[in-house]
Amino acid sequence: MSGDHIFIETLYGFKCVGRNVIFRIFIVLGIVGIALYVFTPLSALPYVKSINQLLKQPSMGWISQALPSSIPFTCAYLYNILQLFFVTVLAINDTRLFHLDAMMALNVHPQGNSDISVGNIFGKFLAFSMANILIFAFCGLLNLLFYPKVFNIGYYLFYWFTLNLPVLVFCLGISTLVTRLTRNQGLNVILLAVILGVLTIPCSIWLNGVLDPLAARIPNMFSDFTGHVNFGSYILQRIFILFFGIGLAILAVIPYPRIHNNERAKFRLACVALFPLLFAGGFAIIYSCGFQSISDEREAFRAVYSKFAQRKVLKIVDNQLYLKETENGGISVTSRMRVENRENEALPLFFYLNPRLVISSIIMDGKTVTFQRDLQVVLVDKELASGEITEVVVNYEGKIDNSFCFLDVSKEKYISPMVNTIDIYRFGYTPAFCQKEYKLLTPECVWYPVSVPPYDTFGFRRSMFTRYRLEVEHDPKLMAISQGEASRDTVGKTTFTLKHGMKGITLCIGNYRKREIVVGSDALTMIQNLKKEMPDIVKDDYPTKVALFYLPEHEFMLDFYDEIPKEKWSSIIEDAKSSIKFYGDNGDYFLKRIMNEVAFDPTLQYPYSWITVVEVPCDFYVFPRRTLQEGERVQEGMVFLPEKKFSEDVSVASYNDKELEIEFRLKREFDQFRKGGSCDLKSTGKGNTSFIYSDECPLINDALFLAFYPYLTWVNKENIQYFVVDYMKNHSLEEALSDTLLSPELFDWIFRMKCAELKTLLEIKIGEQEFHDAYHDFLKRHLFEETTFEDFSQEIFANFNVRLDSIVMNWFRMNQLPVFEIDGHTVFIKGKSDRVYDFRVFNWGKVPGIININTNGKHPGWIIPPGEGRAIRTYGPALNSNVSTYMSLNVPKDIELSSERGEADIDMDTTKWFLPLDSTFFSIKNENEFIVDNVDSGFTILETRKFNIASLFGIVETRAKYYEYPPYNHWGFTVDRNGGYGFPVKGAYFKRAGKGNQKVQWETDLPEGAYEVFCYQPSRKNRGGDVQREYYYSVFDGKKEHEVILLMDKNDGGWISLGVFDFQGRGRVTLSDKDQKHDSIDKHDSPQVIIADAMKWVKVQQ
């Protein structure tokens, strides 16, 4: 090849591209389209439903304003999508290739085939690279003008070089090769659309995205703390794409439609192409092996854990940690532990430590001892006798193996590209940091010796309380952060002291700045808010120190707080404490506590004397576990705030009233610390002062906790109840715990509903207040320590003569559900707030079940044995007229009794009874009625399915088992809380109205005669939606069809007559999905909802 010839061809190719209309369209779309999408509300287009809603959006999402790499990445990402399309189109549209004559193969000119091909590709490469630079320059200028605080030119250069250039080379290579192989523009379009479509969509998931030219699902953002979140893997994949594209470009020279200058040219070109292809393949293998290596390591760690899972452990009473940083960014630690054997037998000394931390020595009672190590397990060659206490000193150093964290997370979830993702932004997953100038070490990574591992097969981890003391030597320019009282008297040395045991301790070292405030209860402000009599100001005897640590360059985020007047801070602090339930949920304790009339009780309120809020890198991520700790970033007394709160919507509209703006801004600030927020502080304020464990029932600690806080078990949505019952009808909670196919969300619902059942069972057996007091007293006596369920059960038996362990294990292992038939009424007396509940219940199931009525604690409930019934009459507050069946086959679980209103001057008979009842009271059947419900064999769905192109590829349309909202294109099953028909599930089918093509049908055999036909419709009282409904029925009497139009308003419900008809041996009713007729003035935004429940034929007596 000749350099001059290549230069001539490059210049020619560049000019051809520049003159091409398609390329000019690309330039305009790139500059205008990308700029509009990135810097205007258009980026919210996929998430809004109207133009007005779009116009109300902020000019740019907060995530783009927060992180400096967001805008450059978005520009590069959008540019790649455009580039992928336009480069391919230009390659297909190469007139030099397709406008040929018969003599072209014999043409003679100085340039060889290689010169022409390389120059042609270089010309396109140069044109698109200059376009890329131009577009980035324009977007960068807008970035600098409007968002200067997040402008960084280095990120634009990085994404241009690593993200856009490899895509350009790859697209040029593959499109040129395909074009020259096929030499047919129509076929080129199809082949390239398929190839690039497969590579950019399915291949973004396959093989961890190694084949995806866009790297769309590979973490590729920057943190202000640690730089690129995934540099090694990302660069490997981009090098693979780059060299793979180069190899394809070289191969594209071989089929050039002209005789080569040398007969061995094709062979030589193939050999040359082999080098970049092999090079690319090597990087692809290294990239893939990295993921496989992590999976193999995690399996090995789990296998080691399983060897020691059943062993009894020693108690680490206290642990004094002395840590200093090493030159390579690692840590050097001395752990001085006091270890005690609290079992009744001699136990070997073993503990767990992160596998990459290398132990240099272990000293016991002043003597060096030998030990064996199997990955994370360290087994010391010494036993401790029962009751023996010894001092163990462990010296170790190294870095942290992050693959060791969260071993109870499945492989699929662990490597999922959706972990820590927001829209197109992938932040990666880093559970711990151990590098120069920044460290974040949580208990999850086991950076210090522990005898109870952060792992459990079932996801319910056991905890051990240890009293920690941490001394850290660090770079004087950096700051060390942990729980407890911090002493920073010596430069470069920080000591943390804890007054009580903790489940674990966290250490963070970085370039932080600190703001701090001491928070005590402002009794005066609270009493004013509660409109109580003004007392003297009471000083809090247990104040809490709140400290915020953040990067110095992020201090502008706090400017808002500087604008708040000092006199408002008291009320702001109390509002914040109230929002996170700082004083718990016990109203009596709350009022007495703020007046210092009762002692500080850590079991009822926030238990620590500090709240440490730490800003952490954007790639820090904590997998949610099966435990009840709902906040993803909350440790004991420590909260990890996302970097610049990038994952939170902190945008607040501007107000003319500054005080109103402050109020809304503070509400947004507090939302992330409330229940359901990413930093839920409520979870750290409850259930962390003790731990009750059981080998037979691993989740007993959380179960008792929920029984103590029953409002956390409230699950009142029919769709949740339906899925829970559908699973639990033939499974126990024990089986659900070990079911790896069960989703975490469904298990959480199951567990909460089972705990509501356990709470009622304990109230029946022990008493609500009695259990509450016994559990609370037990927690107070075992403050900041772990204890066994056996100990708690023995106390319950001693005080109440109740075998709590038997109750819990039966509850845990029950693998069937009762099914209740309930009938009765309530009488509400005018002028009083009480009801008389008079009803009958029969349990048709094979296991006992629990029912209850909501009478504000007046009645704990009743246990109904299997195959037995009860007549129940009782009296209580009129909260509602429902009978709750808890864990039963009845859906909904609350069955509403009919209500009757008494006269104000009539004395109420308050006689109570709980009497045996025979099943004959429920087995009476009306022989003149024929009912077909939507679950019976006589019910049929008649649908005309539309053609779906996916079916040609064997992809079958799948439909959900349950629908919370009505589908548009087909019938879906649901449960209606407003009185649907059915037993034990009050279900129906529903959909949005259509053109009348989708139908349902009820059919049954009838003795000849006249029958009145009724359809069942759930009541729609007090509900939004259609004011008037219009259903189109067709009744077939055996000879002909009768069209019936049923008009209903929102108050219509129950059995509604369709008319009387003479049937000739078989009855059939059809309901179509035809929509009601709308006036042009009063046209609804969406079609009406069609509900198909039950149909009834009642014989007309002559």
What percent of the chain is modeled with pLDDT above 90? 45
**8 A C-beta contact, residue 288 and residue 208:** yes
Residue 683 binned pLDDT confidence (cut-offs 50, 70, 90)? low
d(CA 1059, CA 1096): 11
Q: What pLDDT is recorded for position 827?
A: 84
Mean pLDDT of 315-330: 94
Architecture (CATH level 2) of domain 310-509: Sandwich (2.60)
The yes-or-no verdict on residue 599 having pLDDT over 80 is: yes
Least confident interval from 62-66, 399-403, 589-593, 894-898: 589-593
Comparing 603 with 390, the larger pLDDT belongs to 390
**8 A C-beta contact, residue 1031 and residue 1016:** no
Query: HSE-up of 775 (CA within 13 Å, CB side)?
Result: 28
d(CA 44, CA 651): 14
Which residues, in sequence order, are bridge partners of residue 989? 973, 1092
Mean pLDDT of 275-296: 92
Amino acid at residue number 97? L
d(CA 183, CA 92): 9
The yes-or-no verdict on residue 945 having pLDDT over 90 is: no
Q: How many CB atoms lie within 10 A of CB 962?
A: 16
The yes-or-no verdict on residue 190 having pLDDT over 60 is: yes
Compute φ and ψ for 696, nearest 5 degrees.
-80, -35
268 SS3 class: helix
* CATH number, domain 929-1099, options 2.60.120.260, 1.10.390.10, 3.40.50.1370, 3.40.50.2000: 2.60.120.260
Least confident interval from 262-276, 719-733, 867-881: 262-276
- Tokens read off for 146: 């409007």
**8 A C-beta contact, residue 169 and residue 82:** no
Q: How many CB atoms lie within 10 A of CB 939?
A: 19
Topology at the third CATH level for domain 821-919: Immunoglobulin-like (2.60.40)
Residue 768 binned pLDDT confidence (cut-offs 50, 70, 90)? confident
Mean pLDDT of 884-891: 91
d(CA 984, CA 892): 9
d(CA 579, CA 576): 5
The yes-or-no verdict on residue 240 having pLDDT over 70 is: yes
d(CA 774, CA 908): 36
d(CA 900, CA 320): 69
The residue among 761, 907, 893, 901 whose CA lies nearest residue 830 is 901
Q: What pLDDT is recorded for position 959?
A: 76
Q: How far is CA 676 from CA 652, 683, 707, 791, in A?
A: 20, 10, 20, 34
- How do the domains of the chain map onto residue ranges? 3-286, 310-509, 521-685, 690-813, 821-919, 929-1099
Mean pLDDT of 476-494: 93
Q: What pLDDT is recorded for position 521?
A: 56
Give CA angle at 874 (868, 877), nearest 5°: 135
The residue among 1098, 32, 1020 whose CA lies nearest residue 24 is 32
Contacts of 29 (CB under 8 A, 6+ apart): 82
Mean pLDDT of 968-990: 87
**Count of helix runs (H) and strand runs (E) in the chain:** 27, 47
The burial class, CB within 10 Å (0-12 / 13-18 / 19+), for 464 is buried
Comparing 136 with 859, the larger pLDDT belongs to 136
d(CA 727, CA 889): 10
Mean pLDDT of 767-774: 91
Peptide bond into 984 cis (omega under 30): yes
**Tens digit of pLDDT for each residue in 116-125?**
667 778 888 8
**8 A C-beta contact, residue 680 and residue 674:** yes
Distance of CA 264 to the CA centre of its chain: 60
Q: What pLDDT is recorded for position 944?
A: 74
Q: What pLDDT is recorded for position 953?
A: 44
d(CA 444, CA 504): 9
Residue with tokens 């439903």: 49
Highest mean pLDDT among 9-23, 346-360, 853-867, 1085-1099: 346-360
Residue with tokens 């940091």: 433
**Tens digit of pLDDT for each residue in 526-550?**
444 444 444 454 566 678 888 999 9
Q: What pLDDT is recorded for position 725?
A: 93
* CATH number, domain 690-813, options 3.40.50, 1.10.4160, 1.10.390, 1.10.10: 1.10.390
The yes-or-no verdict on residue 857 having pLDDT over 90 is: no
The yes-or-no verdict on residue 1102 having pLDDT over 60 is: yes
d(CA 975, CA 894): 12
d(CA 875, CA 632): 45
**8 A C-beta contact, residue 350 and residue 379:** yes
The residue among 523, 631, 629 whose CA lies nearest residue 577 is 523
Which residues, in sequence order, are bridge partners of residue 1062? 1010
Average pLDDT over all residues of the chain: 84
Peptide bond into 624 cis (omega under 30): no
Mean pLDDT of 857-882: 84
**Tens digit of pLDDT for each residue in 613-649?**
999 999 998 887 766 544 456 788 888 988 988 877 6
Residue 256 binned pLDDT confidence (cut-offs 50, 70, 90)? low
Compute φ and ψ for 709, nearest 5 degrees.
-120, 75
d(CA 499, CA 485): 9
Give pTM, 2 decimals.
Answer: 0.85
Compute φ and ψ for 387, nearest 5 degrees.
85, -5
Contacts of 115 (CB under 8 A, 6+ apart): 1, 2, 5, 6, 9
Q: What pLDDT is recorded for position 58?
A: 62
Comparing 1028 with 966, the larger pLDDT belongs to 966
Mean pLDDT of 706-728: 83
Q: How far is CA 1100 from CA 120, 264, 928, in A?
A: 89, 98, 8
Compute φ and ψ for 182, nearest 5 degrees.
-90, -40
**Topology alike, domains 690-813 and 929-1099:** no
Mean pLDDT of 499-518: 92
The yes-or-no verdict on residue 905 having pLDDT over 50 is: no
Comparing 90 with 45, the larger pLDDT belongs to 90
The yes-or-no verdict on residue 523 having pLDDT over 60 is: no
Comparing 1025 with 382, the larger pLDDT belongs to 382
Q: Secondary structure of 971-986 in the HEC alphabet?
A: CEEEECCCCCCCCCEC
Ramachandran sector of residue 69 (left: φ over 0; alpha: ψ -120 to 50; beta: rest): alpha
